Amino acid sequence: MKSTAEIFGENVFNVKVMKARLPKEVFKEVMKAIDDDQPLSSEAASVVANAMKDWAVEKGCTHFTHWFQPMTGITAEKHDSFISPTDDGQVILRLTGKELTQGEPDASSFPSGGLRATFEARGYTAWDPTSFAFIKEGVLCIPTAFCSYGGEALDKKTPLLRSMEVLNKQALRVLKLFGNEDVTSVKTTVGPEQEYFLVDAEGFKKRKDLIYTGRTLFGKLPPKGQEMEDHYFGAIKPRVQAFMKDLNDELWKLGIFATTEHNEVAPSQHELAPIFTTTNIATDHNQLTMEVMKKVAKKHGLECLLHEKPFDGVNGSGKHNNWSLSTNTGVNLLEPGDTPYENAQFLLLLTAVIRAVDEYQDMLRISVASAGNDHRLGANEAPPAIISVFLGSDLQAVIDAVENDLPYNGSDKETLKIGVDVLPPLPKDTTDRNRTSPFAFTGNKFEFRMLGSSTNIAYPNTVLNTAVAQILKEYADKLEGSSDFTNDLHKLIQSDIKAHKRILFNGNGYDDSWVKEAEERGLSNSRTTPDAFKHFLDEKNVELFTSHGVYSKTELVSRKEIGLEKYCKLLHIEALTMVDMAKQDILPAVSSYASTLADSVLTLESANASAVFEKDTLSELTSGLTNAYNALNKLKEDIAQSEKIEDFEKRADNIKDVIIPDMDSLRSEVDALEASTDAAYWPVPTYGELLFGV
Ligand code: ADP
Ligand code: MG
């Protein structure tokens, strides 16, 4: 058997492989392309392509594909074979430099949110050499960005790369102010913790709701839910253990640093955390991780649910986006450090993040808004829809001291002077563990916890990077000409803390009193996707993205359109699935049980036996059936109305205000019927079977 070290990265065309297989000069050029975003010469691209092809063919590949992330949220690929005919009727295996660096998938069936109407339908993909090529299912996958010929980004990756570049530029300006002459690049790093559910494949196959929508649309809670919290970090079941081992092996082969795995709070919920890496690579890896999870689960007779809310009444799944900034010299810029100089730089960056989150809270909320995530955010679950920043008591004490010109904890000085004083050590474990905070400082990074489990992390990170870049730009503009740097720095941090401290909140984010307090503080609280999206094109947001060239106005408009369209379509499918299940499976089953009961009543009474249970249940069921049927009809009528609304923004509102409440009423009627129906008649696997069945 191969060791983990041998397995790790065996399906990746990484630095080690390139070093071994490329001529020295070409290898150097590739490394330069990776480190400094320099384009590769066409000669070098040909050499790389050929080496890549040889490597892939040796590993049994016959096809290659450009692998990209269109705005659907999942990844796309179109396989081409390496085979190329020769003059004498033979074939050779070939990958040209041009095939490596540029592709032309037919873009017309990917969502473009109007970009297609205005611009050419065709798009092209362009190689992103910073993310290594890899082999998946015998196909060489080349990570690419996807753009229209007019240059508009048709994917999630291009804006992310732009935002990283913008942040790099502004962060370098700020670092210069602190004399970091050796730093030539700053990259954002991300470690996304991925939550998921595993259910038995047999049970899954019997539920149309899981098949069509990824979540259960009906189902009453079993007597035991998650209240005992005995699942969290509990012993992992052998079948799940086998899945996790297999999953790790598959991820390691792809060079993905999957490390920790444990059970989550809900029964049959689990989490996987990778070791963090540069954001664009982390994005690719997270997309791959989700795909591999689903595939490996099937091999084990399981289904992996990545939906944000597979089960009502049970915790949903999120993705914690651990985010930081790292220099090419290996310094984590959100590490507080232990000298006055390191502390000062840290505090400025910290303040920049605080201010960015405050000023662009609506945009951050939008970046994680989806039909699935609406079940978590704003539904009394982790975390709330209100964005706030948690610093932990030690760092909060420092911030308070700076704001009010006071001494900080344990100091005998009169006041805390940035750039002169040394901060007290900030113990890591006291900074974490406020699990209710949507945006928490956890010692040397921020953890953005509002992402849904199925979200592509590119978008929230694009927003975060750009917002922070904007604030750093303002800081650099102010401080670059300063003649009294230490003093001006202190004043800047102090005034920005004063101006943005409303976003700092260290209490319990689930508490109702926080909702009220947040409102008094003027923080926004968009509970639903349609509400959040109302701010998508606010002037401030458009200005942010266009001024830095991260999104053009048209690109933003297209993303809003696609987001709303997706929301409408998903909920439309959910509503139709409910109608289908209720009408074709559940109500008929309850009705058969009711008629069996009616027969029993006759039989029992003719034998002069008591039929109290049968009669009571029958009357519960018949009135329940009537209610459910009425709710079903109302939903059907409202769906028909909703389908007529052409404008997606209006339709999304209609869905939120009319369709979702209809779905909720139908569900509650059906769930009540489930409680009174003979289990043998119930046509789909129950929550108990799904949640405790693995
Ligand atoms: P836990 O949250 O369980 O205490 P850690 O805080 O060590 O564990 O890490 C959680 C996640 O944060 C991991 O995916 C880890 O790789 C990631 N992480 C740690 N440091 C950074 C960093 N500097 N930038 C981005 N992500 C990071
Ligand atoms: Mg965490």
Which is the closest atom of ligand 1 to the Cα of 320? 11
671, 665 in Cβ contact below 8 A? no
Going from the Cα of 191 to the center of ligand 2, the distance in angstroms, rounded, reads 9
Beta pairing class for 258-263 and 83-85? unpaired
Structure-block tokens of residue 307: 């939906």
Ligand 1 mean position, distance from CA 448 (Å): 11
- pLDDT value at residue 231: 59
Q: Which tokens sit at 262?
A: 């444990």
Q: How far apart are CA 199 and CA 87, in angstroms?
A: 54
Residues of the chain scoring pLDDT < 50: 118-120, 431
pLDDT at 119: 47
Q: Tell me, in angstroms, the distance from the centre of ligand 2 to residue 354's CA.
A: 19
Compute the distance from residue 334 Cα to the ligand 1 centre, in Å.
12
Neighbour tally for 109: CB within 10 Å:
11
**Which one of 195, 270, 276, 280 would you pick to mutate in the ligand 1 pocket, going by the greatest count of ligand atoms within 8 A of its CB?**
276
274 Cα nearest atom in ligand 1: 14
DSSP one-letter string for 576-623: HHHHHIIIIIIHHHHHHHHHHHHHHHHHHHHTT---HHHHHHHHHHHH
The closest alpha carbon to 121, from 130, 131, 133, 112, belongs to 112
Q: Select from 233, 280, 322 the residue to mutate for testing ligand 1; criterion: most ligand atoms less than 8 Å from CB.
A: 322
Residue 346: which of 439, 446, 277 has the closest Cα?
446
Structural domains of the chain, ranges and CATH numbers in brackets: 4-155 (3.10.20.70), 164-551 (3.30.590.10), 566-691 (1.20.120.1560)
Q: Please state the atom number of ligand 1 nearest to the C-alpha of residue 322.
A: 26
What is the spatial distance between Cα 445 and Cα 426, in angstroms, rounded to a whole number? 13
Per-residue pLDDT, 464 = 98
pLDDT at 379: 72
* Amino acid identity at 28: K
| pLDDT at 265 (0 to 100) | 67
What backbone torsions phi and psi does residue 44 show, to the nearest 5 degrees? -65, -40
Nearest CA residue ID for atom 19, ligand 1: 276
Burial class (CB in 10 A: 0-12, 13-18, 19+), 265: middle
Neighbour-count burial of 644, counting CB atoms closer than 10 A to its CB (0-12 exposed, 13-18 middle, 19+ buried): exposed
Return phi, psi of residue 190, to 5°: -140, 140
CA of 193 to the centre of ligand 2 (A): 7
The vertex-155 CA angle with 524 and 149, nearest 5°, equals: 130
Ligand 1 binding pocket (C-beta < 6 A) is 189-191, 193, 273-276, 322-324, 332, 442, 444-445
CB-side neighbour CA atoms (13 Å) of 113: 23
What string of DSSP letters covers 221-284?
PPS--STT--STT-PPPHHHHHHHHHHHHHHHHTT--EEEEEE-SSTTEEEEEEPPEEHHHHHH
Residue owning tokens 């508490």 = 511
HSE-CB for 129 with a 13 A CA cutoff: 24
Q: Which atom of ligand 1 is nearest to the CA of 257?
A: 16
Rounded Cα distance between 685 and 401, Å, is 57
Q: Quick one: which ligand is closest to 318's CA?
A: 2
Which residues, 6+ apart, have CB-to-CB distance to 677 below 8 Å?
Answer: 589, 590, 593, 621
The three-state secondary structure class of 545 is: helix
Q: Determine if residue 435 is left, alpha or beta; phi over 0 gives left, psi from -120 to 50 gives alpha, anything else beta.
A: alpha
Query: In angstroms, what is the C-alpha Rg of the chain?
Result: 28
300, 242 contact by CB (below 8 A): yes
Lookup: tokens for 579: 């109608």
**Taking the model in full, what pTM does it have?**
0.94
How many A from CA of 332 to the centre of ligand 1? 12
